[in-house]
Every structure is written in C-alpha cells, then in structure tokens.
Amino acid sequence: MISIRVLAAGAAAALSLTACGGGSSEHDPYGLETAGTIEAAVSTDQPPFASASKAGAPQGYIVDITNEVARRLKLKVSYKASTVPAALQGLTSGQYDLAASGLGVTAERQKQVSFTKALYWSTTAVVTRTDESASQVTAFGGKKVGVVTGAVQEAFVDGKMTGARKVKFANQNAAVSQLLSGNLDAFVVGGPDAEAYLKQYSKLKIAISAPVDHPTAMAVRKKNTRFVQAVDAQLAAMVGDGAFLRIYKKWFTEAPADGLVSTWPTLKSQLGS
C-alpha cells in the first residue's frame, strides 16, 4: 500500500511517500535512522532518474531501483522531496539514510558521503533553444549559462565554457523555464535529463554533448557501511536475475554505456554482446 503525506514547515513543504517493502524486522541490521524504514531524500526535478507524477508521487529510474532494493531487504521507503545539496547535507546530519537521486560520483562528494555501486554512466549536455547557433563550448563567452547549484555540471561550466556568465538555480525546472523564456542562453545538465526535457519542449535542443569520467549512483551516510553493503548486494542480485536491466530499459532507450557494463559485467551477456 502506498501513502502520501505533505509536511509543512513555515513556507516550505516536503513530500513523503511510503512504499511498502514486504514488512520490516523488529531489529535494525542496517544502521537506519528509523528501524525498518529507509529515510530517502529525492530530487523530483531529475527526469528520468526522479520526477513527480501528476499525483505528486516520486517516480523514475532511481525510484524504481530504490523500491526494488527495499522490497528485497524487507524495508519500507519514506521519500522526502529535497534538492541535491540539501540531500547531501541531510545525509551528513543524520536526517536521511539515502539520497535517492541520480548523483555524479566525484572525489569532492566522496569526502562527505559514500556511494552505491554505479547505476548509470551519463554525459554532460548543453541545452539551448533551437534558434541558438552556438555549438562549441568556447562559443558561450558572455552568454548566460544556467546550472543547478551543487550539481557536478558546475565544474563543466567553470572549466570548459570560458567566459560564460554562470547563473545558478535551485532546481532544473527553474533553469529550463528561464531558458524557454529567453532569459538564459543555455542550461548545462546531465544527458538523460536533457533528453527528457527535449521530449517535453520542442523549442529545445542539445547543442553539445560531452562524456563524463564518473558514474551516477545513490549516496549513503559516510559511516553506514552496513547499509551501503546491503544495497550493493541487492543491486548485484538484481543484475544477476535481470531485474536491473528490466528497470533500466523501462526508463532508457539507449544501451548501457561501457562504464556501466564494466561495473556489472553480467549485463554484457544479457545484452547479447
């Protein structure tokens, strides 16, 4: 059974969704904040990794992965809507057990949190309106380029887009809105997220696509080795029995990248290559 509750604190509101995972044990072998329940932060502006349904419930690739892991561990999941920076901070403060979003695994973030094994291998996309002619990273000097605060794409803008006027946003939807209205010249975001926005808005295009040197995963509290090991064990089981690839194909049309196949070699035989 699934229940949704909205929690208000001042002017802020947080979405919570509890997904039953087959019951919980009376003890807590995983070091969770609440025994039997994964307290998970989710950024619902990251399609196809995580977004909100018309009813406001979290949905997406990472959400499906999280729910399946929880089911196999006989745990529940309580989702709270959050930004990526707030989710990472919430892990360090003990507010959450899991950041159930598509997070780039970087050395800087690894100082703060631990990560599950790879769930995706992404690209970086520079999204523009279709009437924008710039198609090289060096062609955005003086132009307003949006990026989500704390996202790994900030480093791309700083290091690759020389002279660009970086504009930081709290979430992806706000940046896309400004891009569509003409108040922004480009928006730098993960490739799958960009593809999802292109399906929604015909006035947008991917002007530049660049490979990344790190995987996408979920984050766990730094010292909770029991939980991250349990999650990784279930991910391995899901890869082995085909559940991982079934969920992947539900949300992505392209084949898993070489980096993801290197993490999970069993995928190679399942893909028939």
- pLDDT, tens digit, for every residue of 11-54? 333 444 444 443 434 578 999 999 999 999 999 999 999 999 99
Whether residue 254 has pLDDT greater than 60: yes
> Would you list the DSSP string of 70-95?
HHHHT-EEEEEE--HHHHHHHHHTTS
- Tell whether omega for the bond before 48 is within 30 degrees of 0, i.e. cis: yes
Q: Is residue 44 located within the same domain as residue 60? A: yes
* 80 and 148 within one domain: no
Do residue 131 and residue 150 come from a single domain?
yes
Structure token pair of residue 272 = 């028939």
Q: State how far the Cα of 229 lies from the Cα of 149, in Å rounded to an integer.
A: 29
Task: Please give the tally of structural domains in the chain.
Answer: 2
Cα separations (Å) of 191 from 105, 185, 186? Answer: 15, 17, 14
User: What is the per-residue pLDDT for 272?
Assistant: 80
Q: Over the stretch 92-104, which tens digit does the pLDDT of each residue have?
A: 999 999 999 999 9
Helices (H), 54-190: 61-73, 84-92, 107-110, 153-160, 172-181
Determine the pLDDT at residue 122.
87
Give the pair of three-digit tokens for residue 194: 């960009």
Residue-level pLDDT at 22: 39
Q: Is the pLDDT of residue 137 over 70?
A: yes
106's tokens: 């970087």
E strands along the chain, which residues? 2-9, 12-19, 37-42, 45-46, 50-52, 58-59, 76-81, 98-104, 113-115, 123-129, 144-148, 165-169, 186-190, 204-211, 216-221
8 has a pLDDT exceeding 50: no
Residues 155 and 29 reside in one and the same domain: no
Q: How confident is the model at residue 273 (pLDDT cuts 50, 70, 90)?
A: low
Residue with tokens 């780039």: 104
Token pair of 4 as six digits: 């949704």
* Whole-number pLDDT of residue 55: 93
102 and 54 in a single domain? The answer is: yes
**What is the tens place of the pLDDT at every residue in 147-178?**
999 889 999 999 999 999 999 999 999 999 99
How high is the mean pLDDT of the chain? 89
Residues 185 and 197 in one domain: yes
- The pTM (predicted TM-score) of the whole model is 0.79
Let me know whether 20 and 81 are in one domain: yes
Range of the domain at 151: 123-211
- Final residue in a domain of this structure, among 166, 190, 211: 211
CATH number of the CATH domain containing 49: 3.40.190.10
Do residues 251 and 138 both lie within one domain? no
Instruction: From 172, 192, 211, give the residue that closes a domain.
Output: 211
Q: Of 181, 196, 211, which marks where a domain is finished?
A: 211
Task: Please tell me the distance from the alpha carbon of residue 150 to that of residue 41, in angstroms, as a whole number.
Answer: 15
Can you tell me the mean pLDDT for 59-74? Answer: 98
**Are residues 14 and 114 located together in one domain of the fold?**
yes
* pLDDT tens-place string over residues 191-206: 999 999 999 999 999 9
Q: Under 8 Å CB-to-CB from 94, ≥6 apart: which residues?
A: 33, 221
Contacts of 230 by beta carbon, 8 Å cutoff, 6+ apart: 29, 30, 73
The residue among 18 and 266 whose pLDDT is bigger is 266
CB atoms within 10 A of CB 222: 14
State the pLDDT confidence band at 213, using cuts at 50, 70 and 90: confident
